[in-house]
Structure 1
Amino acid sequence: MGDAARPVRDVDGLLRMLDEIFPAPEPFWDRFYEDRDRDVPFFAAKPDESLVSYLDGGALNPGRALDLGCGPGRNAAHLAASGFDVDAVDLSATAIAWARERAPEVRFHQGDAFTADLTGPYDLIYDSGCFHHLPPHRRISYLDLLDRLLAPGGHLAISCFVAGADNSGTELPDLELYRQGVLAGGLAYTPDELRDVFADLTPVEVRPMRAQPPESPVFGADFLQVGLFRRR
């Protein structure tokens, strides 16, 4: 009998059952990263403008870093070049293969961040676009990951879809997502909702991401917001 058919008797079983409502994301992301020449901003070897501003402004100092949903390694590579000891994880084997070519000094892990063999504590957990692709019940797993792996005084830096922006994620209530059984490309959050999810952390800033022109050395898009949070 498969896991989906077993009676639910604990939180992990409930989470796995709810996972069955939404399609597995790995095939999509493998296809997404197959063509390296596509004119997609995420493909460019550019770090997020927010990450660069935190480093240049002294809000973040080198230490151990974990890049969640690292894709082809653009931010992981920048963290390593800035003096961080970096682990990075992504579901897509295609993305990880590309990332290993780009930044061989980073320890890349292919698979689910919630079950990957990661050993904290990390001074920085960086997330550019992973969180907003999680179904609501996996926020529980995400917060547990932060609790297990983020060092006291460490930072979570995140970028995700912002509510009310064009080309952004869905703003449907959580219950409606389960009724429809789709994530519609990702979830959009208001700044207050982002603060509420990470209420156990101290917000340093939550702001719109600064859009960048094509010739900029950093990436920025106005349908995203960024947040920097510190563990107490």
Structure 2
Amino acid sequence: MRSVRTADDVLRLMDGLFGSAADRWTDGAADWWDRFYSDRTRDVPFFASRPDESLASWLDRGLVTRGPRGRALDLGCGPGRNTVHLARHGFAVDAVDLSPTALRWARERAEEAGVEAAFHRADAFALTESDLDGPYDLIYDSGCFHHLPPHRRVGYLAFLDRFLAPGGAFGLSCFATGAENSGTELSDLDLYRDARAHGGVAYGDDDLRWIFSELTEVELRRMRRPDPDAETFGEAFLWAGLFRRP
């Protein structure tokens, strides 16, 4: 049976090349991430209610500022640690995640912190302008991008083009090449040949500059790992990248 007629059909076909690993971004993603977030006592560093050190630093140094509307989108918000931090800094935050379990945790954290945010259970890249109250002064992605297969980067860039306001900032953390405990360094072609995502894709600084070349680089560095009792989260195997739309 023939299954390809549209560009979306091609994308779904390519998703399938990754087998069970595709559960992290295809229809099975919600179940996969629900299982991941179901036990809050697990020793997962980013389960702690602490924002990324890079995001906190950009806000403290004024590299990310609120525009007239002061809107932020937390892309793949997980249990909401960055959502809460952005709301505390005066942003009106939309937080999106596929996992209902993660969103329940995020809502609880927002209530405990006494801040407001709008939570959306959705595949962010299937959302349209009628679903979100954009454009956004800031789109922030902590760990979503590096789970995408290469062909899904096209939709990611189209998403930024639709929802990032002129002059708006885009920040991300993602796996870095040459770092211990990071993602795979296989080439894009070899990822398809291997039919596995290996837990995430690592990027070099030149890769990120090329992929996001339509944006202006503000800062691109490795994340810093704070002291265990610090109020922020960071791991040295992650990039911290901040870009701005002209």
User: Which TM-score applies when normalising by structure 1?
Assistant: 0.95
Match of 1:90 in 2: 97
User: How far 1:103 sits from its partner (Å)?
Assistant: 1.4
User: How far 1:119 sits from its partner (Å)?
Assistant: 3.5
User: How far 1:6 sits from its partner (Å)?
Assistant: 4.7
User: How far 1:28 sits from its partner (Å)?
Assistant: 2.4
Task: Give the structure with the larger helix fraction.
Answer: 2
Query: How many aligned residue pairs are there?
Result: 228
| Distance in 1 separating the partners of 2:190 and 2:100 | 31
| Distance in 1 separating the partners of 2:2 and 2:75 | 30
| Distance in 2 separating the partners of 1:17 and 1:31 | 25
CA-to-aligned-CA distance 1:125-169 (integer Å, 9 cap, x gap): 000000000000000010000000000000100100000000000
| Distance in 1 separating the partners of 2:208 and 2:240 | 10
Q: Find out whether 1:148 has 2:162 as its counterpart.
A: yes
CA contact (8 A) 1:65 1:122 kept: yes
Match of 1:209 in 2: 223
Q: Which moved more, 1:126-135 or 1:209-218?
A: 209-218
Match of 1:24 in 2: 23
| Distance in 1 separating the partners of 2:171 and 2:198 | 24
The percentage of counterpart residues that share the same residue type is: 63
1:93-132 superposed matches below 5 A = 93-104=100-111, 105-116=116-127, 117-132=131-146
Q: 1:6 to 1:149 in 2, by over 3 A?
A: farther
CA RMSD across the alignment: 1.2
**5+ long unaligned stretches in structure 1:** none
Letter paired with 1:96: L
| Distance in 1 separating the partners of 2:2 and 2:71 | 39
Match of 1:138 in 2: 152
Match of 2:41 in 1: 37
**5+ long unaligned stretches in structure 2:** none
Match of 1:163 in 2: 177
Q: Find out whether 1:55 has 2:63 as its counterpart.
A: no
